[in-house]
Structure 1
């Protein structure tokens, strides 16, 4: 078996007397479609922040593609192939999708705000922008300021921006949160079309989305990893049904 794309090894985070994450270990395999679920207060956000370098663990290690990145900054982890979206989108409200993607791609190429003046790479960057715009169904909105986009389109743009970093591992933090029902199919279609080689960890409360997307599910409860398995196994696990899915959950 190839080495994991991302590993948590005994991750623990303590905030004073509060133990938010308690010795969590799991592995995300290359190309994985894995979900992380758990009730409110389970420690999911803390775990994602540990994995991405937003906060440092009290104990434990984060390993990205075989490299220990525990002491590596969040921005450097992006350059090493780890990207994420946020529960509340993190977009540039007055930039259009084209401008936002151009900035993200040029930052990846270390040309930053010089994007519009980098003649030698501009054609390749423009082609990449066009591909992402088309892939995420943003053609009709590509010149619209982000703050004027429908919320579902904003979520699609955020996923496109994460993909613009060319990640090997992508963490999606509740991509369907707040999206109206009529726009949710666009989110589902975008997730289904993500590159097969990218390992994806989906953090989500929507069980329909989780069971549609994931081939493996990790369950976090009170900061500890309760269990892992395929969707059928998780749906039938009485402990999971009791603490999260409820007796009327998927079965």
Structure 2
């Protein structure tokens, strides 16, 4: 498999809601192992584009391919089984469960053991080992047996990403991972995002320019539902069009 292989491709995506065009002929290619950021001011069409990629919306025009397969009309849950996972889709955690129980449940389901999830956790060594690996990687080991409702918000965000990784994605869409996280908890989250597995292709949707520029090796800028430009971080930071778009939006790097 070539390192330059495109794992996710969107071509000419158009999304119309009545007379409104929310996404206008947008194309995007995500390479294997990429760290790709999708940025743009509020109302740029980022959420619509992500909803198209993940199957929440079906495009008016255009095509989406995952690992060379046309998934344009595929249901969201089927995209997950084919390797595309979005943190935003995991929109709530089970407050009464612990991180260990939560991850054991997800790992069991992913490994085809969902009918047995209720068995004692120690009954399947594979589940316990994988859950333990995820707890360690996402800095959750010390809170593994605390009810989720007692976790600090940053830890809850880490657990959401851990759940996504438990599904063993080929493509991971991170939807504003640091949104709402207090300043004192951000560094741990930023370090964990930076240490995501190299073989997972990541598309980051984020307003925090510090995170974007420290994480991404490729960036796509959307404005008014249209692709403004794409390039590496240095090209984006020095692009006059991007500077104009972000003027007054507090983006220190641009």
Q: Same fold (TM over 0.5)?
A: yes
Q: 1:224 aligns with which of 219, 226, 229?
A: 226
Give the SS at the match of 1:106. helix
**Whole-angstrom distance in 2 between the partners of 1:108 and 1:118:** 17
Q: 2:215 aligns with which of 213, 216, 235?
A: 213
Conserved 8 A contact 1:21-1:43: yes
Q: Which position in structure 1 is the counterpart of 2:190? A: 188
Conserved 8 A contact 1:97-1:145: yes
Q: TM-score, normalised by structure 2?
A: 0.93
Q: Which position in structure 1 is the counterpart of 2:153? A: 151
Give the SS at the match of 1:130. helix
**Whole-angstrom distance in 2 between the partners of 1:49 and 1:83:** 12
Q: 2:50 aligns with which of 48, 51, 55?
A: 48
Q: Which runs of structure 2 are paired with 1:63-78 in the superposition (5 Å)? A: 63-78=65-80
Structure 1: 5+ residue stretches without partners: none
Question: Cα offset for 1:249?
Answer: 3.1
Deviations 1:54-77 (A, max 9, x none): 111111111001111112111111
Cα–Cα, structure 1 residues 118 and 80, in superposed 2: closer, same or farther, change >3 Å? farther
**Whole-angstrom distance in 2 between the partners of 1:90 and 1:119:** 22
Q: 1:112 aligns with which of 109, 114, 129?
A: 114
Q: Tell me whether 84-93 or 111-120 shows the greater mean CA deviation.
A: 111-120
Cα–Cα, structure 1 residues 243 and 175, in superposed 2: closer, same or farther, change >3 Å? same
Conserved 8 A contact 2:121-2:128: no
**Whole-angstrom distance in 2 between the partners of 1:65 and 1:55:** 20
Conserved 8 A contact 1:31-1:199: yes
Q: Which position in structure 2 is the counterpart of 1:237? A: 239
Q: TM-score, normalised by structure 1?
A: 0.94
**Whole-angstrom distance in 2 between the partners of 1:145 and 1:119:** 16
Question: Cα offset for 1:248?
Answer: 6.8
Cα–Cα, structure 1 residues 164 and 121, in superposed 2: closer, same or farther, change >3 Å? farther
Q: Tell me whether 140-149 or 62-71 shows the greater mean CA deviation.
A: 140-149
Conserved 8 A contact 1:111-1:118: no
- Count of residues paired in the alignment: 251
Give RMSD over aligned pairs.
2.0
Structure 2: 5+ residue stretches without partners: none
Cα–Cα, structure 1 residues 5 and 118, in superposed 2: closer, same or farther, change >3 Å? farther
Q: Which runs of structure 2 are paired with 1:118-197 in the superposition (5 Å)? A: 122-197=124-199
Q: Which position in structure 1 is the counterpart of 2:253? A: 250
Conserved 8 A contact 2:96-2:147: yes
Conserved 8 A contact 1:235-1:249: no
**Whole-angstrom distance in 2 between the partners of 1:164 and 1:10:** 32
**Whole-angstrom distance in 2 between the partners of 1:108 and 1:87:** 16
Conserved 8 A contact 2:218-2:231: yes
